[in-house]
Amino acid sequence: MPNPTDPNPERTSPHSRAADPVVTASADRQAMRAASVARLTSRGEPFEIATEEVLGVPLRVFRHRHRSLRAVLTESARLGERDYLVDGERRISYAGHLADVAALAVALRDRYGVGKGDRVAILAANCPEWVEVFWACQCLGAVAVGYNAWWTPREIAFALGHTRPALLVADAKRAERLAEIDHDVPVLRVEHDVPALSAAFAGAGLPETSVAEDDPAVILYTSGTSGRPKGATHSHRNLIAVIDHHRFNDALAAAFAGRVHDGTPAGRRFLLTSPLFHIASLHNLVLPRLATGDTAVLYRGAFDGERVADLIERERITNWGAMPTMVHRLLAAEVERHDLSSLASLSLNSAPSPAALHQQLRERIPVARTALSTSYGMTECATAATLATPAELAEFPDTVGRPIIGVELDIRDEAGEPAGEGVEGEVWVRSPYVMLGYWEDPAATATAITADRWLRTGDLGIVEHGMLRLSGRRSDLILRGGENVYPTEVEHCLDEHPSVAECAVLGLPDDDLGQQVAAVVVVRHDIEAEGTTGECATGECETGEGTTVEAEELRAFAAERLAYYKVPARWRITTVPLPRNATGKVVRAGLTDIFTAP
């Protein structure tokens, strides 16, 4: 989920709600906000909103927008020697980044023949080269494809066949996995080849390729309900709209402060802790920073609360969009001994966060007392669909906020009809941010997006007082540490094991990760007998005469085929058939009780 810039122009303390009129006078606050929005989006203003036809459907869009991402990149030249990216001791200025991107784009075109519509896959941990390859693609009309850096060789092989890239850019660790894959895609190493190409073509002019607003710019994978990852395809229009949404938030914050926002960089420093193959870091942090002139500071390696606190203190981080798992681990560290006073905005994204966590943050991290926000969105949306300001979150801890600028949000019943205020239903979203569709998967696209461009999120929610409250998750989606895990994909993998007759994968509550992946596995047995059940964390689980299955064997089997975060952490191995309804579908309700039963 997204990492909003700072959509919180009005801030208040949750500790003085009875006396603080900002919290209690929500109607006045919304009236002030609505007036500011109306003024900023009126005719002739920089953020003027107009209705235009997008993919055959009238949508509300920013009238004064760029028409390609290359135009956004070109404008960054005005920012000169300001820091754009910080990676440890490396400081990459806007001017240096632009020069490297120009050289790399020409190299990709002239040496590798990359052109309009070609895919360039990136399989790497967060690094400046990841960002440079993305922007180089936009100058060539090519499509950057973010592969999940945690994928196994099997998953990488699927993606290579699915997107058929002209070129694959990989770091050393991921390149080792390619040795297990039969492919003929040219590979560039992040550590050596990319810098060498930039140096070899230094001084090259920025190439330009004509693109349409609705041409694809990037593909990011989301776990597939059908057992295969799906490539959410975002256009130049989608990403420019996301950038302008962040710019608009800055102007709205200035309006609340009684200032006029002229686009001058505010000197903010954003902490980048989520992978670049997620919309949180790429779409909603790296891209808009190129337009606002702020700095993105990259965090490398496994998340560690002490290291992150050190980085916030050392780099004077002002803005951080974190997953709930990350702040749990930050709170587990000795945060009080670190100077975190530079933080001016903290948002919780990618997974639901409980009120208890909000309160812990407010008690231990100063910024959370006045500037803690949350959002709701998904890869298909490209950015947040809703945002909750600090005041709204303090007053309504279970809200995920109101629709952002340009988003239409509705709650629909099973027939697809509006459910109305206060009635639970499926969350539908329509906006210029919503993806084109799933790459080369028209059936999945038609299921997700209606003919009039409404995105069916699959999430259940209720709108009350204009704010969205989520009441259920997409299908049986497991949210593990900010990563989406669809049970079907894991189940299909386990079904390939010769000892597995059937299985069900589900999420169990976890204080650190939000949820952990668990599997109920029904094994084959040689004789008909009354089934037996046993939980196997490690070691063997007897499942019937003639058959002995080890949980470690199943875990290793899954680990060879799935990214580590999808591999079940808890197992229940049994000979008892899974419960099914009249149509033969597994009844998941109550399966979690198996793990809590004595």
- Choose the final residue of a domain: 181, 212, 243: 212
More confident residue, 547 or 433: 433
pLDDT score for 544: 39
| Rounded CA separation 54/199 (Å) | 40
Residue predicted with more confidence, 487 or 131: 131
> Of 100-104, 404-408, 471-475, 527-531, which range is least confident?
527-531
Angle of helix 94-112 relative to helix 128-140, nearest 10 degrees, comes to 60
Is 428 within 8 Å of 412 (Cβ atoms)?
A: yes
Would you say residue 400 lies in a domain? yes
Yes or no: say if 454 and 429 are a contact pair by the CB < 8 Å rule: yes
Q: Round to the nearest angstrom and report the end-to-end CA distance of the chain.
A: 37
Give the CATH number for residue 449: 3.40.50.12780
pLDDT band at 183 (very low <50, low <70, confident <90, very high): very high
For residue 312, is it within any domain?
A: yes
CATH code at position 527 = 3.30.300.30
Confidence of residue 132 (pLDDT cuts 50, 70, 90): very high
pLDDT at 542 over 60: no
Please write down the long-range contacts of 355-363, taking CB distance under 8 Å and 24 or more positions apart: 355/397, 355/398, 357/324, 357/327, 357/328, 358/14, 358/393, 358/397, 360/331, 361/327, 361/331, 362/14, 362/15
- Same domain? For 423 and 296 the reply is yes
- 472, 505, 535 - which closes a domain: 472
In this structure, what DSSP letter does residue 121 have? E
pLDDT tens, position by position, 409-431: 999 998 999 998 999 899 999 99
- The pTM of this model reads 0.84
Q: Percent of the chain beyond pLDDT 90?
A: 69
Mean pLDDT of 338-343: 95
Whether residue 39 sits in one domain with residue 170? no
Report d(CA 177, CA 560) in Å as an integer: 11
Q: Tell me whether residue 383 is in a domain.
A: yes
Single-letter code of the amino acid located at 59: L
Per the CB < 8 A criterion, the answer to whether 573 and 541 are in contact is: yes
Burial class of residue 597 in the structure, from the number of CB atoms within 10 Å of its CB (0-12 exposed, 13-18 middle, 19+ buried)? exposed
Same domain, 556 and 413: no
The predicted pLDDT at position 450 comes to 98
Instruction: Quote the CA–CA distance of 290 and 286 in Å, as a whole number.
Output: 7
Q: Is the pLDDT of residue 16 over 60?
A: no
Q: In 385-469, which ranges are continuous DSSP H helix? A: 390-395, 442-448
Question: In which band, very low, low, confident or very high, does the pLDDT at 231 lie, cut at 50, 70 and 90?
Answer: very high
CB 245, CB 295: distance < 8 Å: no
Q: Determine, yes or no, domain membership for 427.
A: yes
pLDDT at 532: 47
The answer, yes or no, to whether residue 6 has pLDDT greater than 50, is no
Q: What is the mean pLDDT of residues 588-593?
A: 82
Q: Are residues 200 and 244 in the same domain?
A: no
Report the C-alpha gap between 520 and 472 in whole angstroms. 22
CATH number assigned to the domain comprising residue 191: 3.40.50.980
* Cβ-based neighbours of 16, under 8 Å, separated by 6 or more: none
pLDDT in tens, 25-54: 567 778 888 899 999 999 999 999 999 999
Are the beta carbons of 275 and 286 closer than 8 angstroms? no
Q: How far is CA 101 from the centre of its chain?
A: 24
Same-domain status, 53 and 19: yes
Angstrom distance (rounded) from CA 444 to CA 471: 24
Q: Which residues of 472-485 are buried (b: 16+ CB within 10 A; e: fewer)?
A: ebbebbbbbbbbbb
> Which run of H or of E encompasses 171?
none
The helix/strand count (H/E) of the chain reads as 19, 30
Euclidean distance between CA atoms 415 and 494, whole angstroms: 35
**Domain limits at 514?**
478-596
Q: Note whether residue 3 is domain-resident.
A: no
CA torsion sign for 344, 296, 284, 255 is positive
- pLDDT score for 206: 97
What pLDDT score does 584 carry? 60
Tell me whether residue 451 is exposed, middle or buried, using C-beta atoms within 10 angstroms of its C-beta: 0 to 12, 13 to 18, 19 or more: exposed
Q: What's the CA dihedral at 389, 393, 396, 401 to 10 degrees?
A: 40
Split at pLDDT 50, 70, 90, the class of 399 is very high
Residue-level pLDDT at 142: 98
Question: Binning pLDDT at 50, 70 and 90, where does residue 582 land?
Answer: low
Type of residue found at 119: R
- 437, 472, 507 — which closes off a domain? 472
Q: Name the least confident of 19-28, 130-139, 273-282, 584-593.
A: 19-28
CB 16: neighbour CB atoms within 10 A? 10
Do 160 and 23 lie in one domain? The reply is no
Q: Are strands 570-574 and 533-536 parallel, antiparallel or unpaired?
A: antiparallel
Instruction: Specify which residues 518 forms β-bridges with.
Output: 506, 570
Q: 407 with 345, same domain?
A: yes
Residue 5 has pLDDT above 60, yes or no: no
Q: Which residue has the higher pLDDT, 187 or 513?
A: 187
Of the candidates 512, 523, 506, the residue with the CA atom closest to the CA atom of residue 594: 506
Does residue 2 lie within any of the structural domains? no
Q: Is residue 178 part of a domain?
A: yes
Q: Assess whether 415 and 319 both reside in one domain.
A: yes
CA angle 539, 543, 547 (to 5 degrees): 90
Question: Is 90 exceeded by the pLDDT of residue 165?
Answer: yes
Domain count, the chain: 3
156 in the same domain as 48: no
pLDDT of amino acid 228? 80
Predicted local distance difference test score (pLDDT) of residue 234: 98
Q: Are residues 341 and 422 in the same domain?
A: yes
* Percent with pLDDT over 70 in the chain: 89
**What is the pLDDT averaged over residues 197-203?**
97
Within-domain flag for 274: yes
- Is 463 found in the same domain as 318? yes
- What pLDDT is recorded for position 352? 72
Average pLDDT over residues 334-356: 88
Residues 250, 359 share a domain: yes
Confidence band of 476 (pLDDT split at 50, 70, 90): confident
Considering all CA atoms of the chain, what is the largest pairwise distance in Å, rounded to the nearest integer? 79
